[in-house]
Structure formats: C-alpha cells, structure tokens
Amino acid sequence: MRSFLLPVLSFTLGLAASAIADPIISRWQLHEKRSHIPEGWTREQTLDPSASIPLRFALAQPNIEHIEALLYEVSHPDSPNYGNHWSPGQVAAKFAPSTESIETVRTWLIESGVEPHRVKISPTKGWLEVASTVEEAENLLLAEYHVYNHETGTKHIACDSYHLPEHVGPHVDFVTPTIHFDVKIRKRNQHNKVSIGQPGQGSGPKTSGVVQDIISQLKDCDKQTTPICLRTLYGLWYEPVSGKNNSYGIVEYTPQAYLQSDLDMFAKNFSTGLEGVSPTMVSIDGGYLQTTNMSFDYNGESNLDLQYGMTLVTKGQDVTLYQVGDAVEGASFNNFLDALDGDYCTYDGGDDPSQDLVYPDTASGGYTGAEDCGTVKPANVISTSYGYNEADLSAAYAIRQCNEYAKLGLLGVTVLYSSGDWGVAGSNGHCLNPDGTQTADGAIFNPAFPSTCPYVTSVGATQVSPGQSVWAPENACEQFIYSGGGFSNYFGMPDYQKGAVEGYLAANPISYSKNIYNSTGTSRAYPDLSANGANYVVAVDGNFTLIYGTSASTPVVGAILTMVNDARLALGKSTLGFINPTIYSVDFAGSFKDVTNGTNPGCGTVGFNATKGWDPVTGLGTPYFPSLLAKWLALK
C-alpha cells in the first residue's frame, strides 16, 4: 500500500545503496548522489579543510512504512475508523526515531573520532547534529565539498555524493548539507531586493493587466471572474454556523504581503461585512507584512488568496494567515511545517541549510528570535499557492517532507497545493534533459512538488472560456496559464487513485515515448481536482487587475472544503482531514463536474488531454458544493 520511490527515468537521482568497489571503502555504501550541477551553477573551488560545516543526520522514522495504511484507516469512507483522527502526541510517539537508530549513528560518529559533546540530539530525537570541519565531514562521508557559485552571485556548499557505513545507512534518511541544490536564489537588481514568489521561482499568479471597468453580471463570467461567478459555478451558497470551532489557513511567504486597503477595496465591491476586516495573522520565523516593496509581484499572490478565501467563507468564518519567513532569508515549506510539528524540527532550526532557512537570522535586518518549532496549531484546511519542481529536490528530501503531510492528515488536516501554471513543464516553462538538468529547451516533462506527494490534494485550473456561459461545462485553463499535471518521477501511485488513473490510461493511449514522461503507469498522478483559475478580478495596489493561475483555484477549493467542515462540525462530526481516498471513491462519483475539453501544453508538446473522468489536466473535475456537502454529511 505504501507509495514507494520509483526506479524511473534515467536522470533520477541514484539513491540505491550500491556498494563501492574500492576495497578501502568497501564497508561504506553510496547513500545519495546527484548526476549533474543544476542550471546556473558553476563549481568554483574546494573548501578550506578547517572551515566549519554543520552536519545534520535525519534519522529514519520507525513505522513510516505503514503511514499510508494508517492514514487510509482514518481517511477512507469505508473504514470503520473514518474520522477518528489522531492527537499530536499519538503521531509523535508512532514515528519517533528508535533508540537503536540514535545510538547506532551516535556510536559510529564517536568511534570515528567525533568527541561525544559535539554530537547533539534534537529535543524531538529526530536529528543528530555535529559541528564539524570540512575535513572531518569529508572523512566521515567519503565526500568532497566544493563552493558553488550561482549566476546571481549566490554561493552554496555541496558535494556530488556521499556515503555511509552499511550498518549506519538504514538508520539515516539523508544528511545535510550534501547533494541538495535547492538553495534560495537572490535575484540581482538595482535595488538589491530579495527574490519574490518564494519559496519557488515562477510559481506566482499571472496577470493580463489592469481592469478598466468591473463587470458583475453572470453573463460576463467568461470575461471577469468574481465571487458570484464562483458561487454560481460551484453552488457555494452557504452561511457558516460553527464559528470559532472551524478554521481555514492560507500560507504566504515573505516578501509576499497583502494590503489592507486592497482587501477593503475588494470587499466594498464584492463582499458583505468584510470592509476593515483582516485575517488573523500568525507570524512564523519573523514573517511580517512588508510595505517597502509594492507591486503585483509582491502583492498579487497574497491579495488574491485572501480576497477570495475570505469572501467565499464570508464574515462568519475567520481566516488565518500564516506569514512565514523574514525579508532577509525568507522561508521554505519545511520552515512552515516545523512550526506546526515540533517533532519535525532540527536541533537549532532549519532542516537543510541549503533549503530550509536557519533562524535566528544573524544578517542585518534579519529575524533574531528562535525558530518557531511546534508553536502553531494547524488549521482544519491549509491552502498553499506555491510549489517547486520535483527535480529541484532530492528524492530523500521530498519523501521525508511528503510523510509530514501524511502526519497532518492523521491529525485531521486537509492540505491543498496548487499544481502549477506551466502544463507538463516546470516553473518558468523549464523542462528536464536526460542528464537531469532543467532548461527552457528541455524535452522531458517536469512534474511539480508537493503536488506529486500522494498525501496532499493537488488543485489544477479550469476556465469559463470566451463566449461560454457560467452554466456551461468549464474547459481546462488555456488563458495565460496551463493547468499543471502529469506523473511523478519520485512517488508510486497510491491505492486511492489506481482505478481512476488506470481507467484514463486504458481509454486514452498516450503517444509520447517513455523518454518524455514517466510512462510506467504506476506513478503518482496529479492533479486531484480543479477549479476556475482564469480572469480573477483582484484589487492590487489600488487597481483592479485580472489574474490567472492555480494560485487562484487552490484557495477557492479551500474555501469550499472549509464550509463542508463547518457543516460537519455543527453536527458533531470530525473534520475532513485527508480527502483523497474519499473523493476518488465510488460513493463520491458525480460530486465533481467533469471537464472534458482542453490540454496542458509544455516541453514542445500539447501535453495531456482533458477527457471524461479523471485526467492529468483537471483531475476529477471541479467541485459541486451541494453534492459534496450531502455526501460528506452522510459519512459518520
């Protein structure tokens, strides 16, 4: 039942524990290896052997091989334990690294010459840290570290591969810093501004410019999408009654920020009772609402998410804004997850220094407080409109993070991620090459993460196409953006979607060669569902602007599911939690409006086709609230 790593296309990372032939290192095994230096980076120099380097060992988690079965037990509608979600303590106890793993790694380090006082265990016992020199780290891992320079001027420390003794390897998920090149890139410009659209590049919404005249009639929803268009499309006519018992969380990453004046401008035109109302902001790792930089790139995403999220759940439901990261370092998904789950944190903050930003931030203007670690209660539904390319991350890193989303599902949390705006290509239209590099002229499909994680719900985009009515079937979005979708190169196909995806593949033979995408038919497919992602009217910096993207469709789905939670809680039922096993089940057939027209081009192809039933463009289709509400209320 577990979604295992797939041995797919030739460019995937060499993670197999293959023994090294040299007899001098025969007791070591290759743990992780990267086959290429990512685009934009060059190897500059070896490191001074005496330079400091903080080694962190992510300890293997017991029972993690059963996490999918455990999650299904509380998430599948046919399970007698449906809705019996776990407590945080139960989750922590089930997956805490064993004493054997801790002692095995610790003993090896000490026997290798590391003084005992330098081997530190995180409070949650999930990580071991060693304050090491470069020379010592290279000897411990049989690795060679270099300084790499990015074309923007960012510098990074990494190695091409590393090894662990054969008796230690099974107790370690991965070691940092090592092969990971998903370091934050700072764009150079005349004002020395930090990069935007964090945590990934090119993942923000797109715009066609300022709207001169607002059209609020339903007959014009093909030109401008407003809240009444969405309510009509998805039947979302509902007033919440559970109040403070329910919660909806939207995640943003500094320097992205909303403007209250824009929220008020939108509310005055499209909402009732929301003028002057702000989301409840929870600051994580120094997150704050910066007002130094104001433009679509800085304010478009957050304004979009909050204006539609807050309006669709109405003034009767509070919305929580998780604002993550300071303006100097920013943040990653793992920084956010650390705040929700103390058991996910490292000893002193930042799971991977090359990707997960380290706090306190000693840079000028940085957040000097301690990293938020298990300090934030997760909302019942969490919507995130950002993403990486799957290939940006090592498979071990992605798998470890993916398992954390499964833990949130065990707690009863629904996690939504946008599927991306570049069709079968990655962010900014980059595709993969046979050697694993990502370039604009690549020809291999480049799937998105976390959308490919089988424990999140991936949301694609549709549209009311020009000349069509709001009551007509929607098409896959093909205005300014293309709905992200396809097949993972890292994760196996989860049981809940096997019937739907196998049916699609049988009815729609794909002509692309196996060298273009993961054609095994056994990998995680995405998206899971979709919603409108075109022509959104959004107030940005004092003007109404048309916005496009899965950045728009994802918070809409989040609002719909939040209202379902409201109705269930009012009847004393549990929150929805992980919804995928339910929405793919036979009982929920007909709860989504099928999308059968459109494609998601990329990598020199037309991508995949939207067709009857599930497809890798729009998933199961778009949600119809009355049907979903009735079926979820019928479950215990």
Residue 159's alpha-carbon distances to 37, 128, 215, 342, 536, in angstroms, are: 10, 20, 56, 29, 44
User: What ranges make up the beta strands (E) of 177-279?
Assistant: 206-210, 248-253
Listed in sequence order, the residues at least 6 apart from 404 whose beta carbon sits closer than 8 Å to its beta carbon are 337, 341, 344
Beta bridge partners, 210, equal 545
State how far the Cα of 12 lies from the Cα of 33, in Å rounded to an integer: 10
Candidates 128, 57, 68; CA nearest to 95 is 68
Q: Among this protein's residues, is 301 annotated catalytic?
A: yes
Residue 587's alpha-carbon distances to 413, 576, 582, 591, 593, in angstroms, are: 22, 15, 8, 9, 15
State how far the Cα of 566 lies from the Cα of 234, in Å rounded to an integer: 17
Q: How far apart are the first and last CA of the chain?
A: 24
Is residue 370 within 8 Å of 187, Cβ to Cβ?
A: no
State how far the Cα of 349 lies from the Cα of 361, in Å rounded to an integer: 10
Considering 3, 523, 551, 553, which one is annotated as catalytic?
A: 551
Beta bridge partners, 30, equal 163
Q: 3-state class of 236 per DSSP?
A: coil
Residue 363 backbone class (left: φ over 0; alpha: ψ -120 to 50; beta: rest): beta
CA angle 189, 193, 197 (to 5 degrees): 105
State how far the Cα of 75 lies from the Cα of 70, in Å rounded to an integer: 9
Considering 68, 136, 173, 301, which one is annotated as catalytic?
A: 301
DSSP H or E segment with residue 173? strand 172-176
What tokens appear for 528 in the block? 């899971």
Candidates 77, 74, 176, 13; CA nearest to 632 is 77
Q: Among this protein's residues, is 305 annotated catalytic?
A: yes
For residue 360, say if its preceding peptide bond is cis, omega within 30 degrees of 0. yes
Is residue 56 within 8 Å of 175, Cβ to Cβ?
A: yes
What tokens appear for 564 in the block? 């379902």
Candidates 451, 347, 350; CA nearest to 398 is 451
Q: Among this protein's residues, is 65 annotated catalytic?
A: no
- Locate tokens 């032939």: which residue? 21
Considering 129, 136, 305, 615, which one is annotated as catalytic?
A: 305
State how far the Cα of 235 lies from the Cα of 216, in Å rounded to an integer: 17
State how far the Cα of 53 lies from the Cα of 130, in Å rounded to an integer: 9
Residue 370's alpha-carbon distances to 195, 215, 349, 481, in angstroms, are: 23, 48, 8, 39
Residues annotated catalytic, as ranges: 301, 305, 551
